[in-house]
A and B are shown apart, each in its own frame.
Chain A
Amino acid sequence: MSRTVKMKVYRGEQNVGQFHEYDVSIDDGMVVLDVIHRIQATEAPDLACRWNCKAGKCGSCSAEVNGKPSLMCMTRMDTLPQDKIITVEPLKAFPHVRDLVTDVSWNYTVNKKIRPFKPRPKAADGTHRMYQYEVDRVQEFRKCIECYLCQNVCHALRNHGKHEEFAGPRFLARLASLEMHPLDSDDRIPFIKEGGGVGFCNITKCCTEVCPEHIHITDNAIIPLKERVADRYYDPIQMLFRVLTGNK
């Protein structure tokens, strides 16, 4: 059954623009991205919006729907209040390009700063042996689709612009996946503390709340990293023990 909803979509370029209001006819089962496409088809063919898979797997159509960072393709219209105007606007933590499109390239720059997987030497039998139970926890982080909703909602980036000092939840999760890997031999703890700025996270779990893949970013990635940083830099007994034993 079709009905009409009021949508307010942010239109503009390079941070200058305004909300445009559209009355859109929608059908059962539509998601926000369908409505954006209908606006493009009927009223605003120049409306810019990034999208690809429409299945919640490519992470392209991230936006803020009614103020909540969401994937437009996974936000069903029938989950939004129909009696109010629905707002759709671009992500706030990244530079605005046009309409609903932002420049997320800062994330790729951060990613390049992370030292890659460095496997330990092979065992005497020439193998790199590991067990499934050992990699279960790092495989959770491989579900990430890099939609950057977690980066966008993180107040350290969104409100305080700590882009130079803080890697953000997505890349702390990547660092966790490397640090916890049973075969990895690199030591990234100093980078996690300084370059990654794990201390900027105050674990309010907004990243976990918005993650469309339901990755427990805070509990399973960031807090374990904070504990490893605490081992190295904040635990006086462990620090004393390392001094006495000469261990790193």
Chain B
Amino acid sequence: MAYPVPGTREPFLATRRQDGWWVVPLAMAATFLVFVVYATWAAFQPREFSHFGPYISPFYSPDLTKWIPGFTWSPALLILWIPAGFRLTCYYGRKAYYRSVTFSPPACAVGKGDRDYKGERALPWVLNNLHRYFLYLVTVLVIFHWFHFFDAFKFDDGFGMGLGTLVVAADTIFLTLYVFGCHSLRHLVGGRIDCYSCAASGLVRHKAWKGVSVLNDRHNLYFWCSLVTVGFGDVYVRMCAMGVWNDVRFF
């Protein structure tokens, strides 16, 4: 038996690992599939079901169609590319889909099959280097999410709180934790500095870097929590607007 020489293309999924290495990539792939199918469907739905009471679906925020006369399609089409681009270029998101969707590799020490590999040095993956630009755009969306969070307390009969308020809150909080733990943000606020004691505002920037690092440590957790809560935010508002579910009003 010849032992593999370095760089041998191991057959696809070949491994001597005995643990359940396939469980996590499979769960990730299933979650991505459900989310992408649902979000694509939702993006093409009419706007009637995009809000209910004081709640607005996160897929439709902000409504840019107000500034584009004659645009009759769903406002979601003008917005969703931003968070989609942010997640696609996200350093954690890349790990998740390289493993679960492109199988490059499917798991550590598991065969990839016979294929060429250029990594992130060639199209399309080299475009992931533009992650910071999606960060700038998605930060604006986070601000709108916070406006909608406060709006979710303003019912027709005055200040109140319902189950939808909690749904909107979960979406807003997890999105904030996810975006402000971004690796690019960590670099921009202070990670790029070598000598903090020599740089202007070095101590402040070091503290900012430390703060983002705390969130960055749980970036994977917030990635998934945010993905689920933003998707459920749309489901909840849509179901209430369609009359399928009734919003529970606490006070």
**A contact residues vs B (CB 8 Å cutoff):** 10, 12, 15-19, 64, 66-69, 81, 84, 87, 89-90, 92-96, 129-131, 133-134, 153, 155-163, 179-184, 197, 199-206, 209-210, 219, 223-224, 226-231, 233-235
Contacts and interface: CB of A to CB of B under 8 A. Distances in A.
B63 interface: no
B1 to A, nearest CB: 4
A129 B184 CA distance: 29
Given A16-B2, A234-B130, A180 B105 contact: no
Interface in B150-164: none
B198 A182 contact: yes
A229 B198 CA distance: 22
Contact of A206 (B108, B186, B197): B108
A5 B5 CA distance: 29
Contact of A159 (B19, B98, B111): B111
B132 A68 contact: no
A227 B187 contact: yes
A202 B98 contact: yes
A64 B109 contact: yes
A51 B25 CA distance: 34
B206 A158 contact: no
Nearest to B9: A159
A15 B6 CA distance: 10
Contact of B18 (A66, A153, A224): A66
Interface of B: 1-10, 15-19, 91, 94-95, 98-99, 104-105, 108-109, 111-112, 117-121, 125-126, 129-132, 183-184, 186-187, 191-192, 194-198, 206, 216
B18 to A, nearest CB: 5
Shortest 4 CB-CB distances between A and B: which pairs? A161-B7, A67-B16, A199-B121, A206-B108
A16 B1 contact: yes
A67 B18 contact: yes
Contacts of A205: 95
6 contacts: A18-B1, A134-B197, A153-B109, A159-B10, A182-B194, A224-B191
A202 B104 contact: yes
A182 B129 contact: no
Given A160-B117, A206-B109, A67 B104 contact: no
A162 B216 CA distance: 30
A197 B195 CA distance: 25
B196 A182 contact: yes
Given A68-B17, A162-B117, A230-B132, 12 more contacts: A15-B3, A93-B7, A133-B206, A134-B206, A153-B108, A161-B7, A182-B196, A182-B197, A200-B120, A202-B125, A204-B95, A231-B192
Nearest to A18: B1
A162 B7 CA distance: 7
A84 B6 contact: no
A96 to B, nearest CB: 5
